[in-house]
Amino acid sequence: MTEQNETSRTVTWEVDTSSPELAARAREALREVVDPEIGLNIVELGLIRNVAVEPDRATVTMILTTPFCPYGPAIMEETRKKTQTAVGVPTTIEMGLEMWSPELMEEGAGADWGLF
């Protein structure tokens, strides 16, 4: 289960509580995945809604900025590969049902856009 702290816009992933060291590695790796149209990484954008790691597999729940994002498949595959390398188990991507909005971005991430 993910939670979003209303005051800091920080998403808490399942792996944050189950395995903090893996969470830190996953978060660092996922910050390397950049949306080529926007120029911000997927963690800053709030696209990663959950990361769950079990002994034999990991699941990343993510959303895209738009339903028909032309870079969606490439971003999802890079996300899968980066997570799998970081946590060391086979990883799958699940699409979340949330619609993306700028409010999901990390605090300060939209400053360059004049959003926050």
Q: What is the pLDDT of residue 11?
A: 82
The whole-model pTM stands at 0.86
Expressed in angstroms, the distance from the first to the final Cα of the chain is 27
Is the four-CA dihedral 48, 107, 19, 34 of positive or negative sign? Answer: positive
Q: What is the pLDDT of residue 4?
A: 52
**CB-CB contact of 36 with 91 (8 Å):** no
Pairwise CA distance, residues 42 & 74, whole Å: 12
Average pLDDT across each block of 10 residues of the chain; the chain has 116 residues. List them in order.
52 94 97 95 96 97 94 97 98 96 84 55
Q: Domains of the chain, with CATH numbers? A: 3-96 (3.30.300.130)
Q: What is the pLDDT of residue 109?
A: 74
